[in-house]
Homo-oligomer: A and B are copies of this chain.
Amino acid sequence: MSQKWVYLFDEIDQAEEKAGSWDGVRSLLGGKGANLAEMTRIGVPVPPGFTVTTEACNAYFDAGKKLPEGLWDQVLEAMKEVEKQSGKKFGDPSDPLLVSCRSGARVSMPGMMDTVLNIGLNPETLKSIIKLTDNERFALDAYRRLIQMFGDIVKGMDRHAFERILDEYKTKTEGGQDVDLTANMLKDVVKDFKALYKKELGEAFPDDPYEQMRQAIAAVFDSWFGAPATTYRNVEGLAHDLGTAVNVVTMVFGNMGKDSGTGVAFTRNPATGEEEVYGEYLLNAQGEDVVAGIRTPSPIADMAEDMPEQHREFLRICDLLEQHYRDVQDVEFTVERGKLWMLQTRTGKRTAAAAAKIAVDMVNEGLITKEEALMRVAPEQVNQFLHPRFDPDEVEKARKAGKLLATGLNASPGAATGVAIFDADTAAERGKSGEAVILIRPETNPDDIHGMEQARGVLTQHGGMTSHAAVVARGWGKPCVAGCEAIKIDLDARMFSVDDKEIQEGELVSIDGATGEVFTGILPTIEASFEEERELITLLGWADEVRRLGVWTNADYPKDAVKGRAFGAEGIGLCRTEHMFFEEERRPIVVKMIMAENDEERQACLDKLLPFQREDFEGIFRAMSGLPVIIRLIDPPMHEFLPPREELIEEVARLRFSKDDPDELAEKENMLQVVNSMWEVNPMMGLRGCRAGIMYKGLTEMQVHAIFEAACNMTKEGIKVHPEIMIPLTSHVNELKLEREKLERVAKDVMAEKGIEVTYKFGTMIEIPRAAITANEIAEYADFFSFGTNDLTQMTYGVSRDDAEGKFLLDYVERGILPENPFEVVDRDGVGVLMKMTVEKGRSVKPDLEIGICGEHGGEPSSVEFCHMIGLNYVSCSPFRVPVARLAAAHAVLKE
């Protein structure tokens, strides 16, 4: 006996027996087929039919595109059963059965694969249908659709050739639409279609219903390796050997009069999660009419009036399906002459807000467990809650109105609208006065911070997902579109242009950091408020019960610390101390410190900086009372605090030529000389991090001094401080030893002076491959490790993030050379190996070594999962990512 290739919808028990599980059934019958069979099993009315398995599809390709042995016999057998169930006969001129052939893979591939409708129509059956429906126009329209679909999909004809014929007839009508075609016209259309078919293919359109079906099944198989489906699987990373099933389903028609109709619905509101069947339907219409948008559908509620019985039945089925599948369903249905048929059910896609509400509601309804509820919300969705967003309808309208200017990188989510401003000072000034400002720059640097702070959003022409603008904006939860190369900024003219459009300073623009889109004019936004998201808060509470990974936040300022804590952060994983150096009143002191010609001069500057730093730390400690705070000593190269070299070269050249101002020239020349002497070819791998602490005498001491003074002062005020001091950029254990000695000496002195004992930890970033490789040596001198996966990725990959994203990295991802951008998702095979090695080597000498991550990856769900897998203690991310990380950490446990 040959293999079983065909399962009737009521043979799901047999399919289950063979496949072993519901998951197996989905693989065997495809998603659509499995659900049609499942609905049949639980008594939901489904038009009779059967499924040809994915195995048959694979066998078809294995045999060089031949239907496998026994398949056709089984199809014929199944059709007999379908005829019995429907009471009609396939190809019977008196009461003909019509069917559709629909593709249905394991995973939904929307629009990628093919369907042929109305199979079984021929001149004989057509007559019968006309008689039975008393609707000649309807029957002819169905027939011409069959010829058109068959020609296009099964025979590979040019679909436009059919469209042209149709258009010709439409121009003859008054309305010019499909619906305006009369029955007589359609008769001619059918004739012309058949003539075209014969001309193109050299054979007549087949009248034999079984011949139609056989070819349609093969064509659906073929569409599995069609270009759209193949590309889709490549992009989505789906296997090519899953195959598609073919569902042969009895046609039912919703356009058979006032007692017919068709519709689509969600069992709950997919936008809000409200418990109400939500959808739309059309009386006396086919499914395509709903999609085509020619008639405006009515809300499902209206059905209660039009056909109350069927409406009640429909609501009952929706409830049944939801109870059965234990999740929101997205269904399609048709009423044919008073009889309700369900044509499809699948899990309903929903917005973040709906996902959270539905998950929590279903737990309260006893339908699912808390763990299931957690898995129903994707961590990345949580992000949507925390940022203002544009009203989707308004975005659609703006697009249609041609207001979309360009699309850049979606660097920091959220929507913002304001006046275009091209420099940080103006942005700061106008922003402070309450005006909504969008700061637009070729790229940003630390000099622009004050402008970014006061802007509603930031737009840059250059720079990638980890450019300065992107990182700072994400840290602040401020919308940012980066690397929008399509806009050409002219700073002198204070404008930018896109093709022939120009936006002057002061004009209104809107940016969507979640999509990277830039619009002209104002788009209305919907505000977010974490505190009011009760369901999300409930859900995150459950996540906290489940997860083992701690979630900390990166915060340089007290206000960020407060925000992170409100979002549920259990500590500060990274407080950068260099931002403090950039602030207006401190910068000149920092510059003087760098340019100091001897130790005394430098120390004098450091002494002036100390009170500022102390104050900074006091603020942070106060905000985080009772929780750990990791403070990282200064990291960037010192020349970042000096004016840019290129600017100085230009100015000196100008001043030399003009001879206007010898004093300024001398000053600039002096500055340029210092900048030149500090200049580095590859600053990222130059004199920065602990190297600066080691080479600039007194720098580490000053920072440590400030930290401990602040800690002692706060302790006196009753604040519970838990400082952890972190050394950046360690590559050799001896660097750590040296810095640790300094720290311990200063800490002891300050605590003795203040008469207060503060418990603290000393640790290091692991961001250099060598530190990972020698983690066992380094662990001897560290109480904690914190992965700086941004830099670790840069060094491990040999890729400078500042340069690479625009120049080749995104292109690499697009071309599939890299599976994903390693600066977004931890590269488990490369960087991940070093991380695992670090954990193993570090804990081999210090089993309770505290290990966390404070790079950008700390808030990215797949990376959070990886951190959980390799046994980190916590992840630390920007405040706005904290809720995402809390849920991702719970997912990591539940996926185990």
A19 at the B interface (CB under 8 A): no
Size category, A interface? 35 or more
Chain A window 651-689, contacts with chain B (Cβ cutoff 8 Å), 1 for yes, 0 for no: 011100110000000000000000000001111111100
Q: Which of A298-306, A370-378, A549-557, A792-800 lies at the binding interface?
A: A792-800
Contact check, A695 vs B649: say whether CB atoms are below 8 A apart. Answer: no
Bound-state Cα–Cα, A895 to B607, Å: 55
From the candidates B729, B812, B827, name the one contacting A770 in the complex (CB within 8 A): B827
Contact code string A752-786 (vs B, CB < 8 Å = 1, else 0): 00000000000000011110011001000000000
A595 within 8 A of B: no
Contact status of A774 and B830, CB under 8 A, knowing A694-B808, A795-B795: yes
Q: Which of A37-45, A200-208, A731-739 contacts B (4 or more CB under 8 A)?
A: A731-739
Query: Shortest distance in angstroms between A486's beta carbon and chain B's nearest beta carbon?
Result: 14
CA distance A794 to B649 in the complex (A): 29
- Which of chain B's residues have a CB closer than 8 A to the CB of A183? none
Residue A576 at the chain B interface, CB threshold 8 Å: no
Q: Is A802's beta carbon under 8 Å from chain B? A: yes
From B680, B729, B799, B817, give the contact of A798 (CB < 8 A): B729
A719 proximal to B (CB < 8 A): no
Could you give, for residues 158-191 of chain A, a 1 whenever the CB lies within 8 Å of some chain B CB and a 0 otherwise?
0000000000000000000000000000000000
Beta-carbon contact of A807 and B650 below 8 Å: no
Check if B795 sits within 8 Å of A681, measured CB to CB.
no
Q: Are A684 and B687 in contact (CB under 8 A)?
A: no
The reply to whether A811 and B683 form a contact with Cβ atoms under 8 Å apart is no
A173 to B27, CA, bound (A): 113
Report Cα–Cα, A811/B645, bound state, in Å.
26
Task: Return the chain B residue nearest A691 by Cβ.
Answer: B808
A818 within 8 A of B: yes
A684 touching B686, Cβ below 8 Å: no
Chain A 698-736 residues near chain B, CB threshold 8 A: 729, 731-732, 734-735
A833 to B772, CA, bound (A): 11
Taking CB atoms, residues of chain B closer than 8 Å to A817 are 694, 732, 734-735, 738
Complex contact A773–B653 (CB within 8 A): no
| Cα separation A686 to B684 with both chains bound (whole Å) | 12
| Distance to closest chain B CB from A802 (angstroms) | 4
- Tell me which of A646, A729, A738, A816 has the highest count of chain B C-beta atoms within 10 A of its own C-beta: A646
Q: Which residues of B contact A768 (CB under 8 A)?
A: 796-798
Instruction: Render A306-318 as a binary contact track against B, CB cut-off 8 A, 1 for contact.
Output: 0000000000000
B731 pairs with A798, CB closer than 8 A: yes
Determine the chain B residues whose CB is within 8 A of the CB of A627 once the complex forms: none
Q: Is A829 an interface residue (CB 8 A)?
A: yes
Residues of B within 8 A of A686 (CB): 800, 803-804, 807
Q: How many copies does the complex hold?
A: 2
B770 close to A803 (CB less than 8 A): no
Residue in chain B with minimal CB distance to A685: B800
Q: Is A791 an interface residue (CB 8 A)?
A: yes
A834, CB-defined interface residue at 8 Å: yes
Interchain CB contact under 8 A, A833 and B680: no
Bound together, the chains give a CA A791 to CA B691 distance in angstroms of 20
* Chain B residues whose CB sits within 8 angstroms of the CB of A695 once the complex forms: 807-808, 811
Which residues of the other chain, B, contact A802 by a CB distance below 8 angstroms? 680-682
Contacts of A681 in B (CB 8 A): 683-684, 800, 802-803
CB neighbours (8 Å) of A812 from chain B are 694
Contact of A654 among B653, B767, B777 (CB under 8 A): B653
A265 to chain B: closest CB distance in Å? 44
Residues B694 and A803 in contact, CB atoms below 8 Å apart: no
A828 CB, nearest partner CB in chain B, Å = 11
- A817 CA to B736 CA in the complex, in Å? 10
Contact of A796 among B646, B773, B829 (CB under 8 A): B773
CA distance in complex: A683, B802 (Å): 10
How many Å lie between the Cα of A354 and that of B654 in the bound state? 62
B818 x A732 contact (CB < 8 A): yes
- Digitize A824-837: 1 where CB-to-B-CB distance is under 8 Å, 0 elsewhere: 00010111011000
Shortest Cβ distance from residue A538 to the other chain B in the assembled complex, whole angstroms: 42
Most buried by B among A682, A797, A827: A682
- In the complex, chain A residues 847-882 whose Cβ is within 8 Å of any chain B Cβ: none
For A680, list chain B residues within 8 Å (CB): 800, 802-803, 807
Measured CB to CB, the closest approach of chain B to A490, in angstroms, equals 13
- Complex Cα distance, B634 from A750, in Å, reads 56
Could you tell me if B794 and A685 are in contact, using CB atoms closer than 8 angstroms? yes
What's the Cα separation between A272 and B663 when bound, in Å? 63
Task: Tell me the bound Cα distance from A812 to B737 in angstroms.
Answer: 13
The distance in angstroms between the C-alpha atoms of A818 and B653, with both chains bound, is 41
Contacts of A829 in B (CB 8 A): 773-774, 777
Residues of B within 8 A of A773 (CB): 796, 829-830, 833-834
A346–B658 alpha-carbon span in the complex (Å): 72
Question: How far apart sit A695 and B685, CA to CA, in the bound complex (Å)?
Answer: 25
**B-facing residues in A480-537 (Cβ within 8 Å):** none
A768 to B795, CA, bound (A): 8
Question: Across the two chains, which residue of chain B brings its CB closest to A687?
Answer: B807
**Bound-complex Cα distance A817 to B691 (A):** 11
Q: Do A803 and B769 form a contact, CB below 8 Å, given A650-B649, A738-B817, A829-B774?
A: no
Given A680-B800, A732-B818, A769-B830, 10 extra CB contacts under 8 A: A649-B650, A653-B657, A680-B807, A682-B683, A685-B794, A729-B798, A738-B817, A768-B796, A769-B798, A777-B829
Kindly list the 6 A-B residue pairs having the minimum CB-CB distance in the complex, ordered from nearest: A682-B800, A685-B800, A653-B653, A770-B830, A768-B798, A680-B803
22 sampled A-B residue pairs with Cβ under 8 A = A649-B649, A649-B653, A650-B650, A650-B652, A650-B653, A653-B653, A653-B654, A657-B657, A682-B800, A685-B798, A685-B803, A686-B804, A687-B808, A691-B808, A695-B808, A729-B798, A768-B797, A769-B830, A770-B797, A773-B830, A773-B834, A777-B829
